[in-house]
Amino acid sequence: MTRWSVRQAPVPATVEDPAAWAVHGACRAHAAVHRDLFGHADAAWRPTEVAAMLGERPYERTVLLVAVRAEAAGDADAVVGAALVQVPTQDNPHLAFAEPWVDPRGRGQGAGDALVAAVEGVARAEGRRTVILMSTHREPGPGVAEHAARSGAGGVPAADAGTRLAAGRGYGLEQVERFSTFALPLDGAAAAAVRSAYGAAARAAGPDYELVAWTGPTPDALLDQMAVLRTRMSTDVPTADLAVEEEPWDAARVRAHDAEVAEEGRVQAVVAARHRPTGALVAFTVVEQPVAVPEVAYQQDTLVVQGHRGHRLGMLVKTAQLLRLGDAFPGLRRLHTWNAQENAHMLAINVELGFTPTGVLGMWQRDPPDPAGADGADGGPSDRRAEGDGSARADGDPLGE
């Protein structure tokens, strides 16, 4: 009988530190999951990112759990699965977010069940009553049985290991996000279509709005306004019945976020729309690129604040961003994004611009019980015989035009 030891990863000083063995092993397993699903590891976590996340941060605490064969701890090659657990420290005091995954070669032996049990143990230790799990899947094809989201929009493949694991442990599928990809560089018909959409959006916006763009940290003069937009992003993104509450942002939190993006080895490109009569930023979109993988980037937040919708500002900032990415990130070839399936307006815009479906992300929620004597430290084969695999690479794309 295979026995798994689920251990909390040490916090390495650098990715070259011998203590980073768990980080490297976890990332190798995550890359294997994504290659199995999509044929590439574009959206898999990288050691630089995970190591940075494990450090001390003012707004969240991150724990990495790794499943290793009991006799082989300390060896990156012995890591068969992992889970990132994040707990907010300045808001949402009831929540823990977790992303578990298991290398496809190690499935069916109870490692996934052991990891989720350990996730729930971390949540209890942190005083969190609600756990949100994330699972990543291929796009369900024709004839594939689906486990439907409670939101009524979308589903995930019912037979997948991640589906069986989450459902078997009592988690409810609250929301599904579509994972989509845009091919670059822009040329030919694709470039013409984006330029045409940009021109139409600029005409609809009219003279009351102008664009502001930057690459890298937020300019000091815009920190307070970006804090307002980030706060609105936390409340306006479609969340179905997920138990998430507002994240209050201020200039210090924007600075901290920008520093964390850089620490994780990514560069952000931002396009915002300013309302000329008031001088306020009223829309924005963000793309982040990992420096080590210049052919890949992630579409992060996109938002138009209420009161300025109906002017095509969302389309304006998104198309302006697509048109400038060639200069900002000349090696970029694939731009990935994630959108709630109930966000039909945003999905329609992405389809119009040329984003193609790649996969789906499941958002599962449960208030786990507190079983007496259960510490989630070790696990053997489970009756469910299923493991979790997932990724949460982007923050969403709420858009109202």
What digits encode the pLDDT tens for the residues 318-338? 999 999 999 999 999 999 999
Residue 246 has pLDDT above 90, yes or no: yes
Predicted confidence band of residue 75 (pLDDT cuts 50, 70, 90): confident
Name the CATH code of domain 4-176+359-379 (choices 3.40.640.10, 3.30.365.10, 3.90.550.10, 3.40.630.30): 3.40.630.30
pLDDT for 400 equals 40
Residue 257 belongs to what H/E stretch?
A: helix 251-263
Give me Rg for the CA atoms of the chain: 21
Q: Please, which residues bridge with residue 94 across strands?
A: none
Q: How many residues does the chain have?
A: 401
DSSP 242: -
pLDDT tops 70 at residue 166: yes
pLDDT at 192 over 70: yes
Domains 4-176+359-379 and 181-357 share a fold: yes
CA 329 from chain center: how many Å? Answer: 21
How many Å apart are CA 55 and CA 283, to the nearest integer?
32
Mean pLDDT for 50-77 is 90
pLDDT tens readout for residues 334-357: 999 999 999 888 898 899 999 999
**Residue environment code for 70-101, b if the CB has 16+ CB neighbours within 10 A, otherwise e:** eeeeeebebbbbbbbbbbbeeebeebbbbbbb
Predicted confidence band of residue 61 (pLDDT cuts 50, 70, 90): very high
Q: Which CATH number fits domain 181-357: 3.40.50.300, 3.40.1440.60, 3.40.630.30, 3.40.1160.10?
A: 3.40.630.30
**Residue 262: in which H helix or E strand, if any?**
helix 251-263
**DSSP H or E stretch at residue 143:** none
Q: In this predicted structure, what is the pLDDT of residue 74?
A: 78
Contact 110, 2 (CB under 8 A): yes
> Which residue from 297, 399, 285, 296 is spatially nearest to 348, judged by alpha carbons?
399
β-bridge partners, 81:
67, 102
The per-residue pLDDT for range 202-219, each reduced to its tens digit, is: 999 999 999 999 999 999
Q: State residue 240's pLDDT score.
A: 85
Rounded to whole angstroms, how far apart are CA atoms 127 and 271?
Answer: 38
The band of 239, judged by pLDDT with boundaries at 50, 70 and 90, is confident
Q: Tell whether the model's pLDDT for residue 401 goes beyond 90.
A: no
In the predicted structure, residue 226 carries a pLDDT above the cut 70 = yes
Instruction: Please tell me the predicted confidence (pLDDT) of residue 2.
Output: 57
Helix pair angle (188-205, 313-328), 10° resolution: 140
Contact 116, 388 (CB under 8 A): yes
pLDDT value at position 377? Answer: 30
Question: Is the pLDDT score of 393 beyond 80?
Answer: no
Average pLDDT, the chain: 90
Domain spans in the chain, listed from the N-terminal domain onward:
4-176+359-379, 181-357
pLDDT in tens, 126-137: 999 999 999 999
CA distances in angstroms from 214 to 80, 262, 344, 397, listed in the order given: 40, 15, 29, 19
Percent of the chain with pLDDT over 70: 91
Contact 120, 85 (CB under 8 A): no
